[in-house]
Structure 1
Amino acid sequence: MSSPPTSRASDHAPGRKRTNLLAYACLAIGLVFVFLGTGMILDGAEAGIPVTLFFGLCAAVAVLQIWPGLLQREAHSAAALLARYPGPVRLKAAALKLWVFSLLSAVFGGVLLWMLLHEPLPLLKQLILWPGAVLSLFAAAMLIVRAAKDDIFLRLSRNGFETRLAWSSKTIRWQDTSEFAVVSISRNVPKLIVFDDAAVDRAGAAGLNRRFVGRNSSLAETYGLTHEALAELLNAWRARALEQDAIFTRWPGNL
């Protein structure tokens, strides 16, 4: 029988400390310019609002970099969830995180749009900024739709797990998955839970994911748990399911 997931200590590697120092510096600079931008607004300067919004965005990103758990509080106990095996158990994504990221994306796209409409920019800069503005505003709209539908979940069952976004769902069998691991592509990219799905290999669609994260499939959402806690829960749940499959296969009547 597999053991319940256990929590791990935080990673205090030198790279992480350097990232935090940079984030603190960005936070300080952002707050200073938010203060200056507020003064510009009070003085009636036209650029005061975009300056305040842009550096407020920088400060918000720095806060999330320093304290990533602000939008991802552990709403469930991994051990308690494992005790509910074989389920089904359904974990929902945190809608607050989607609303916050939609706001940040909208602010960034809005500032770019203001620059394009109010500043005499060279053609090359316009060609760079227009796609950024459009994509940021489109991403904000998509995040708002996902948050409003509140239908993003992970469902664990005896035979596998189902992930659902606002517009699609996918079911994966435990027999097709490898163990789950947590990776970070770089110091500035959020963590991902990665694994191999045999069905993806059979479909010949594994190349891009495997090139960047070493596995052919990933989970970016953590559904109220930390990345490490969710990976351990998935591994423990998978181990129990595969253990039962092995017992069933060895049973004399099933040979």
Structure 2
Amino acid sequence: MKACNLVLHCGGASVERSAVKSVPTPIATPTWSPIPHLRLVEQVERSLRASHLEIVNQAHALSHGGDRYFGLIQVEARRGNNDYALVLGLRNSHDKRFPAGLVAGAQVFVCDNLSFHGEVQLSRKHTRFIGRDLPMLTQRAIGQLQDKWQHQEQRIQSYRSHAIDDRDAHDLMVRAVDVGVCPVTVLPKVVQEWREPTHDVFRQRTVWSLFNGFTEALKGNLALLPPRTQALHALMDGFVGIAGRN
């Protein structure tokens, strides 16, 4: 099984679990109660096990001197699912940049692309009682995410089976800029990936190939990736006629 991969830029670095554990947690204030990065990881692991979901791979990353954490936890693939994996995206911060968060996603093995879909299912500010609330919130989120993963598999199959020509592909590229999938400066990379895909498996003229052209171009900024790929899913879902399944 291929390992999870975090393609990073903006100062981020992939690290071992031991490095996550060693990051010091700032002292709490009356209005701000940060939690250790590893505490979020361990709580998610407990919730997955309680839901009888097997963890098969993990990846961890730190940025901004350890103040920001990003992680991936891959769960056991469904039978016959050999080219993409269902993953959880985790994030936590010690610099008040964003709350502790958890979102459902998918990783395409052939190009190590990531996409996230649906609303963030856990987003807890670092305020008083976060430690008390975290177990309940993560368990509830895992239950919701199982349904999200089922929809994700249905969505990918729809993308694969839906043919698309150059005219519609180019129209979707322009609309993607309009809805915030990517800035206009990224569009030439998307066009290049559509016309001459980096990976031969995406030479078929389908929505799945175009989708992966976008995710290839969007690699790197994990902080921006969830909202961008959520917008991309909404755009593609509307095109193939499955809007409202998030």
Whether TM exceeds 0.5 here: the answer is no
Select the structure of larger CA radius of gyration: 1
The structure whose residues are more often strand, as a share, is 2
- Relative to the length of structure 2, the TM-score reads 0.31
TM-score, normalization by structure 1: 0.31
Q: Which has the higher contact order (CA 8 A, sep 6+)?
A: 1
